[in-house]
Structure 1
Amino acid sequence: LGVDKTVENIGRLPPDLLAETCQQILSHLQGQVRGVDSAEISDKFQRAGIRLDQDALQEVVQFLFLTFRSIEKNNLSADVLVARLAEGSSKWSKAALQVLHRLWSDQGTLVNTHQESQAMLSIGQLVDMQWKLGMAVSSDTCRSLNSPYVSLLLKIADTSGQISQRSFEMTIAQFQNFYRQFKEMAAVLETV
C-alpha cells in the first residue's frame, strides 16, 4: 500500500519534472553532485503546482534513489527496470515508466562506472558551510550576555545522498581554536 501511494505521487509529476528529479538523483549517483537536495526539489514541485508534504516528498526521492541504486547494483537494463517496476505496482503511469526507461538507458553505464569506483568509500561529505557573527543579548541560562559568538551551519551529504543541516554556536575563543585547526589541516594538505 505504501509503495502504491508513492508510485501514485510519482505519477502525479509532469514528465519534465520527474525527469529533472531523477536527473538530480542520477547526477549524485554519478558523483557529479554531492547529494540530493530535497528542499530544492520541494521548491520545484511547489512552483509546478504539485503539493506533497515533506514525508511524501522524501518517500518519492528515496524510492527513486533506491530503485536506481538497486538496478545499478544488479547491473540490470532499462527494460528490466521498467518490467520490475510494473510488476511491483499497477499504479505506474506509462509516461513515468518511459521517463525512467529513457534516463536509465542514457545514464545507467555512467552510474555503474562511478558506483564501482566509490564502493569502498562510506563517509559523508561537507556540501556547504555558512557562518555568522552574533551577540548574545538575552538568555535564561547564560550569564555572559553581550558577548560575541560565531554560529556555524553545515550542510552534509550522507552516504545515501540525503543532505542534512547541522548548526552550532561557538565562543570566539572556541572559533579561534577551530580556525587554527583548519589552518593546520590546510598546511598539511599543501605538503601532499
Structure 2
Amino acid sequence: MRAMDSMREKLLPLRLYRMDGESRVEAELSAAAEGLDLVYEALEGLTREAFVETAEGWGLSMRELTFGSERAELPLELRREMLLYRGAVTVNDNTKGSVERALLSIGLRTELWEAPREQKLYVICYEVLDQKVTRYRLKQAALRFLPAHLEIIFDFGKVTWAYLRETEKTFQQIEEPGYTWEQIRELE
C-alpha cells in the first residue's frame, strides 16, 4: 500500500489528523489509497511495456506485429534482441555487418559472402531463430534489406542425416522424382 504510506508520511508532521488506525479520516485515506495503488500499478505496467528492454507482453507483441508477425513462442530476450536490431536499421546501413544485423532482426543468424565479379551475394544462414516461419517468408523478408542489383543466393545449410530421417522418406522415394540436392533442401 504505497499510496497510504506516502499520505501518512506527508500528513503526520501537520498533526491535523489522528493516524492511529482507528480514525475515520484514516479509513477514508486508506480507501482512496487502494484506488491510487491500482493506478500506480497500471502506470508501472505501461512504463514497463513502453520500452523494448523491459517489455514482457503486449509491448513486444505490438512491435512484432508492426514488423510482421508476433513471436510469442520465442524467449523474451531473443524477441527483445530482434526488435532492437530491427529498430536500429536505417537507410544508411549499407555495410556487411549492418546488413547481417538487419537479417538478425527478422530471425536469421547469417554471414554474407560477396562475389563482386559474379554480381552475387551469398547469404549463409547459420540459424533460423523462429522455426515456424517458412524459408520462403524468411527469404522474402530478407530481400527487403539486401541489395536489389545483386543475385542473392541463400544457403540454409547442408542436407544432413538428421534431416533425411525427419523427412520420413526412403532414399528411393527421394530419388524417384529426380531431385537435385538443392531441390531436396528446398522441399522443407
TM class by smaller structure:
under 0.3
TM-score by length of 2: 0.23
